[in-house]
Structure 1
């Protein structure tokens, strides 16, 4: 294999490029990214970057020295438009094409958007440009912020806006946010964080449309499905993401809520692998920071080998910072698993809990208990690691 194209210049793409060099690939390496920025860290966008506590320079995932050591060609601000598997070429905007012996798909995901007309002052938060636009809007005199969606991104944005002094309302269609991730009992505890900081949480109702007014069509209100109107100067939509696969339609690769691949990231075409948010590996798709970083080394190893010689199966792990509380979760919780308090108190918003099933621990949740959480996370990872020959 003399040339590899990494399509996607974010976290998963950077880690794939690192793995290629670390595993001895010394051929031509081309990294294609539709953003104009070099790889940066996304989690701070909804937190420290949004509040102004950190700047763009703190987001960089690689310094100038590492960029040089990768010895890669960077095609930034360039969008991939198709994959010609027969010709071994990636089609790029402007009618260009890029030939490669191997391809790493790391195009991530794009935010879901509300249907219908979107007034000025309505934002999603996925990219650095998104965060810069939202930060500027919040600094422009906005008082009332409505966040649509109470998942982790929505909750983090609400937390940051509250810290900036805005009047914040969060709208969630589900009766209680984060139940699929945490279960009802623990999700209810986490939902109380909003009220602790004078943020209004409205659940069990959707959004029918957004209202705008003025010459620039600026957002003025959010109309809920039950007919209520919420005044708004800024609206942030955080209702999930869709894997970025539209450009792969017609390529012959199987697409189903992501690029379908095996547990090693290998697609039905051995010279094409998928990593990160876009990869639907062994029937599931993970949208977490740790998954993107860990999948890359395995997928690259298989790409260079020409077949699946390694698989990735690590313990799922994610975290979220909200209202000064760090929420950490690790494991594979199933409906019916019972949470047991190990230490601390939910009333203090600082505790450690284990989810149990048939006498064994399946997952761990912590609020502001990082050290004991990491210890239990390591124990859980050892206990659930599959046996190897």
Structure 2
């Protein structure tokens, strides 16, 4: 077998690891690949690029195949799992602290993305890597959220200078961008004392899409009935406030669309395999039971194009059937699913599959193309 084939096997294995605990077909395919020629350096590299080192470690430990890795790589891989579990516990405790403060103030504040997915779609196993504590709030509470985080020791519009080991203000250009796009607050950061991580970062969003998007959902509706996600722990009874399942699913999908479709985000950071795994796992574990309500919301708010774009690529990567199950077959025209949006508002296209795009180490080549009719509501 050639080196290229061994690298391809490593990439295929990583894809199966994402859903092996849920899908017997993926588990069987992963077992077969683990028994054959495999480029373990490529496997580690791709897992690191896609924030999947903890998930990979958990899988090879579960199937007793850590012997595939040279000793030092094995230590690094296993350490990534235990470190991620520790960091997740610290971030979860901080999210609980913020949620309790919001509840005491009477504010509707929901935790989203990684800190919630860890428990709702990854079984609380500490395998889902994430950096920020993501929150969703009502735009009318913009000042209240900022004040609440300030009272909890956070500073806004700052970043962390790792070389200097201290907090510094955001640059003028970044501040101007946040003033222009008010669907997010500038990141909040709290330096820790005596903890094994130097700081916590909080990212507050006020929309399931973005400010200039023609696709919007009323935030009164989105935040009307929050769910309580149980957090196992010694104290018992801890819960994270979260979006109701249909809105949580839509936010995961729409956030991924935003990062994967716009030229400015494509060039800044390519999307990750784990983000598509979040969508697939969420649907299988939670979304499918709410398919009728999700479909109703998609139709009511005209969200078919972006939801179909992400679901089509998720199906192609994981063999799922989200497009069919959500009745979105009419929204996967080739010019749409391989489209992107230029920074000046014009159309772009990229070639190949999402699987190839995720595997490649460089952003996809974007070429000028007519803006598809399904993109008329995108508006960067």
TM-score, normalised relative to structure 2: 0.28
Structure possessing the higher radius of gyration over alpha carbons: 1
Between 1 and 2, higher relative CO (CA 8 Å, sep ≥ 6) is seen in 1
More strand by share: 1
Structure having the larger proportion of residues in helix: 2
